[in-house]
A and B are shown apart, each in its own frame.
Chain A
Amino acid sequence: MKKLINDPDAVTREALEGMAVAHGDRVRVSIEPAYVVRADAPIQGKVAIVSGGGAGHEPMHGGFVGPGMLDAACPGAVFTSPTPDQMLEATKAVDGGAGVLHIVKNYTGDVLNFEMAADLAKGEGIDVEAVVINDDVAVEDSLYTAGRRGVGATILAEKLCGAAADQGRSLADVAELCRRVNAEARSMGMALTACTTPQSGEPSFELGDDEMEIGIGIHGEPGRYREKLAPAAAIVERMASVVVEDLPFNSGDRVLAFVNGMGGTPLIELYIVYRDLHRLLAERGITIERNLIGDYITSLEMAGCSITLLRLDDELTSLWDAPVDTLALRWGA
């Protein structure tokens, strides 16, 4: 294992300490328990939005804390859910009296810990709603599994709900919007290489030089299919056709297309993926109205990408265009 670290057990804490000294003007960082809140929290009368999950997916979620997006993020150890005490303290720190929305990715650990946190917060008189994101179409047999995983749609939901909360909408409305975004979005990911967590020191799976994993998760979980490496266009076809047919996205639909890098893939390759995705969607009569291209939900140093499509309407498009001012996503501000 070759990593720029000091201590495998202190990766999250030391990264948070770096964030605190780098961006103390924009975010407040608590180390124990670990959470990041926007510097001006709580915003009185605004629904607050809290997300969280294991570290190792940077910039998610800490990079999305700020005006127009998240009020707080709770990072766990690498690929490990944060704990209820962190979520409770973060929830209390951002509650401005209008309630708090927890945006939770569908992983057993995240869901169970957020459930316990919501119970504790309600016990302290805070109005909490939780929405679980589960957009990963790679998980087919959802009746007999823990269900589809939450991946790319998570940050789209965080951005759109952040904009809705800024408009002064109620907790029930923002939660309903979050559920709608989840319902209208689908994703799938692939990997060219595995990743290595600092704690284990070993790659999460073994992959031959000429192989790829289709349908991977964002924690180094192996995929659904191991296949021979193929040109980008064939890989995009393989993933995007599943994504398109699952919702399904139909001719005439307008979408937000999100091409996400897994951490170890250069931007130049992501643009090739976007080119091929654009062509494939055009052939199917689907118009890309907004896009997002880059490393936003990573899996440490894994090489690979994921594709997320979100069906847009005028409301979602205008919420997407609303100002956002976070470390990783910033426009109009």
Chain B
Amino acid sequence: MSPSDTLGHAAVEDWLRRFAADIAANKALLVKLDTAIGDGDHGTNMDRGMRKVLEKLDDLDGGDVGATLKAVGMALVSSVGGAAGPLYGTLFLQMGQSAAGRDSLDLEGWTAALDAGVKGVQARGKAQEGDKTMLDALLPAVEALRSAAGEGAGLAEALERSAGAARAGMEATIPLEARKGRASYLGPRSVGHQDPGATSSHLLLRAAADAARAG
């Protein structure tokens, strides 16, 4: 297996740093999207959380991908607040559980980890696909990983397709009526706005594809 077929610990760190940078760069956009249908704090909260994650990464010395993802989850749980804290925290904690003890993730390992994370988000938030939430970006991304693997795609190609599916899922939230979170209180007035959680989830998977290509 060539190095580009796995995400080693350095590549996982690279992914997290890219995600932090993307969140910082899109903070104003996330605030704007959340102000339209929520309470306007998603960009600020995620940025605060990812800055905390960056501090954690600087202190890490281990090569255990699972342990790193768990540390990321705990950092988010204790710093983000809102709904995004427990949801993104659970995503990373479950990914970490799935990747425990591994020093790298191949496509199968990455898919299993992301799937475990997304299932955790579903269990915590009790949302379904189409409820206009982060799951609308995450669920198609897992699906795209599976079909890419089935077609024999390599890791970088599969993550690229998964990011593309997340983007499509994010854009598909625009006409949806929200059924979870604060946006649901708006009823039909939530239609016509892109979901901020799906937007940050797309950034997460976009960053993963970028890290895989670079690695």
Q: List residues of chain A with CB under 8 Å of any chain B CB.
A: 9, 33, 54, 76-85, 107-109, 112-113, 115-116, 138-141, 144-146, 149, 197, 199-200, 202, 204, 217, 219-222, 224
> Would you call B78 and A33 a contact (CB within 8 A)?
yes
Given contacts A109-B81, A141-B187, contact A197 B182 (CB under 8 A): no
Q: Which residue of B lies closest to A218 (CB)?
A: B39
> Would you call A108 and B182 a contact (CB within 8 A)?
yes
Q: Which residue of A lies closest to B78 (CB)?
A: A85
Q: In this complex, which of A138, A197, A199, A220 has the most chain B Cβ atoms within 10 angstroms of its Cβ?
A: A199
CB distance from A88 to the nearest CB of B (A): 10
Q: Which residue of B lies closest to A54 (CB)?
A: B81
Interface 1/0 per residue, B122-156 and A, CB below 8 Å: 00110000000000000000000000000000000
> Would you call A77 and B40 a contact (CB within 8 A)?
no
Taking CB atoms and an 8 Å cut-off, the chain B residues in 68-98 that contact chain A are: 77-87, 89
List 24 A-B pairs, Cβ < 8 Å: A77-B41, A77-B81, A78-B41, A79-B40, A81-B85, A84-B86, A107-B182, A109-B81, A112-B124, A113-B81, A113-B85, A113-B86, A116-B77, A139-B185, A146-B180, A197-B39, A197-B41, A199-B40, A200-B40, A200-B44, A217-B182, A217-B185, A220-B39, A221-B182
CB distance from A7 to the nearest CB of B (A): 13
Given contacts A84-B86, A116-B86, contact A222 B189 (CB under 8 A): yes
A-B contact count (CB 8 A): 112
* Bound complex: CA A82 to CA B79 (Å): 9
* Bound complex: CA A107 to CA B83 (Å): 8
Q: Which residue of B lies closest to A196 (CB)?
A: B40
- Which residues on B sit within 8 Å (CB–CB) of A199? 31, 40-41, 44
- Which residues on A sit within 8 Å (CB–CB) of B41? 77-80, 197, 199-200
Query: Count of B residues near A, CB < 8 Å?
Result: 33
**Does B26 count as interface, using CB distance less than 8 angstroms?**
no
- Which residues on A sit within 8 Å (CB–CB) of B125? 108, 112
* Bound complex: CA A144 to CA B82 (Å): 20
> Would you call A146 and B31 a contact (CB within 8 A)?
no
* Bound complex: CA A164 to CA B171 (Å): 51
CB distance from B175 to the nearest CB of A (A): 16
> Would you call B77 and A83 a contact (CB within 8 A)?
yes
**Does B215 count as interface, using CB distance less than 8 angstroms?**
no
> Would you call B180 and A108 a contact (CB within 8 A)?
yes
* Bound complex: CA A114 to CA B202 (Å): 27
Q: Which residue of B lies closest to A138 (CB)?
A: B185
Chain B, interface SS category: helix
**Does B186 count as interface, using CB distance less than 8 angstroms?**
yes
* Bound complex: CA A154 to CA B173 (Å): 33
CB distance from A201 to the nearest CB of B (A): 9
- Which residues on A sit within 8 Å (CB–CB) of B184? 144-146
> Would you call A84 and B78 a contact (CB within 8 A)?
yes
- Which residues on A sit within 8 Å (CB–CB) of B44? 9, 77, 199-200
- Which residues on A sit within 8 Å (CB–CB) of B82? 76, 80-81, 109
**Does B45 count as interface, using CB distance less than 8 angstroms?**
yes
* Bound complex: CA A82 to CA B82 (Å): 7
- Which residues on B sit within 8 Å (CB–CB) of A197? 39-41
* Bound complex: CA A249 to CA B199 (Å): 44
Given contacts A108-B181, A221-B186, A222-B186, contact A200 B81 (CB under 8 A): no
- Which residues on B sit within 8 Å (CB–CB) of A224? 187
| 10 tightest Cβ-Cβ pairs between the two chains A and B | A145-B184, A112-B86, A109-B83, A109-B82, A80-B81, A108-B83, A219-B39, A85-B78, A199-B44, A200-B40
* Bound complex: CA A165 to CA B63 (Å): 50
* Bound complex: CA A76 to CA B186 (Å): 24
* Bound complex: CA A186 to CA B39 (Å): 23
Known: A76-B81, A109-B85, A204-B35. 14 other contacts (CB 8 A): A77-B44, A78-B41, A80-B39, A80-B45, A83-B81, A85-B78, A107-B83, A109-B82, A112-B86, A145-B179, A199-B41, A202-B40, A204-B39, A220-B40
Given contacts A81-B85, A83-B80, contact A145 B187 (CB under 8 A): yes
